[in-house]
């Protein structure tokens, strides 16, 4: 058994880490997410390099213990030490991709993908090729295809502004009833202007499975008395 990583093994692991993370990064870039191909590749390569360094530390400890048997009870190498630092440290990079805007949170999936490619990079660097490839297949399937297979319409809030109190409210409630949209909660607000009042309702709604939130925005915007429709993600 060789106690050092040879150059061929190092290159194979670096190329495998590059290929796996590049595919995941391509999917993120294709969907115009904050972290794209280069970011995912660099994260995965960094984790892979750290894992290989950790392997070398372990090999060196074994070599020294063999060379100096009298010190084998003193020489220790923790194979999880550097890996643990990667797992926790990548959280800071992932946090930079998360954006909070108008009560909505964006970038969580990209942050998670950065964290998981780091984990895959560690698996490649440690030489667990089967684990790395199997993880890549599952992760890419989740990122690229799960949303197309499983459609979930979570609760969201829709903010609607209108001018005529009775007419606007009636139109909104009729639209919800006609499209089987459930209202879980509602907040009302009235703002006085030079020309009268502007009314704002914030509805927490749940859609039927065959409907999208963009359909709600377009449908309500068609009302004559409606001046503004805005979705608010629940974070």
pLDDT of residue 16: 93
| C-alpha–C-alpha distance, residues 104 and 171, integer Å | 26
| C-alpha–C-alpha distance, residues 52 and 55, integer Å | 5
- pLDDT, tens only, 96-141: 666 655 555 666 777 888 888 989 998 998 888 999 999 999 988 8
pLDDT > 70? residue 222: yes
| 15 token code pair | 């190329």
Lowest-pLDDT range, 72-76, 178-182, 188-192, 209-213?
72-76
- pLDDT, tens only, 20-78: 989 988 887 777 776 778 888 888 999 999 888 888 877 777 676 677 776 655 556 66
Provide the residue count of the chain: 235
Q: Chain-wide mean pLDDT for the chain?
A: 80
pLDDT of residue 70: 66
pLDDT of residue 130: 93
3-state secondary structure 153-193: CCCEEEEEEECCHHHHHHHHHHHHHHCCCEEEEEEEEEEEE
pTM, two decimals, is: 0.61
Q: Span 144-152, mean pLDDT? A: 68
| 127 token code pair | 């030489």
pLDDT > 70? residue 185: yes
* Fold assignment, 156-233: Alpha-Beta Plaits (3.30.70)
| 202 token code pair | 């914030």
Query: What residues does each domain of the chain span?
Result: 7-149, 156-233
pLDDT of residue 235: 44
């Amino acid at each position: 058994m060789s106690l050092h990583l040879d150059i061929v093994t190092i290159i194979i692991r670096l190329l495998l880490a590059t290929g796996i993370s590049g595919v995941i990064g391509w999917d993120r870039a294709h969907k115009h997410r904050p972290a794209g191909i280069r970011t995912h590749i660099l994260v995965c390569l960094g984790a892979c390099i750290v894992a290989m360094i950790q392997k070398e530390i372990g090999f060196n400890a074994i070599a020294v213990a063999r060379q100096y048997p009298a010190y084998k009870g003193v020489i220790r190498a923790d194979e999880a030490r550097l890996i643990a630092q990667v797992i926790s440290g990548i959280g800071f990079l992932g946090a930079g991709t998360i954006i909070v805007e108008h009560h909505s949170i964006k970038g969580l999936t990209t942050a998670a993908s950065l964290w998981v490619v780091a984990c895959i990079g560690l698996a490649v660097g440690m030489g667990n090729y089967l684990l790395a490839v199997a993880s890549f297949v599952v992760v890419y399937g989740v990122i690229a295809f799960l949303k197309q297979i499983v459609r979930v319409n979570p609760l969201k809030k829709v903010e609607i502004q209108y001018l005529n109190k009775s007419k606007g409210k009636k139109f909104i409630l009729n639209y919800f009833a006609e499209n089987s949209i459930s209202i879980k909660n509602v907040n009302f607000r009235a703002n006085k202007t030079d020309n009268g009042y502007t009314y704002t309702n914030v509805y927490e709604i749940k859609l039927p499975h065959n409907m999208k939130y963009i359909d709600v925005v377009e449908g309500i915007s068609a009302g004559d008395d409606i001046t503004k429709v805005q979705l608010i993600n629940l974070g």
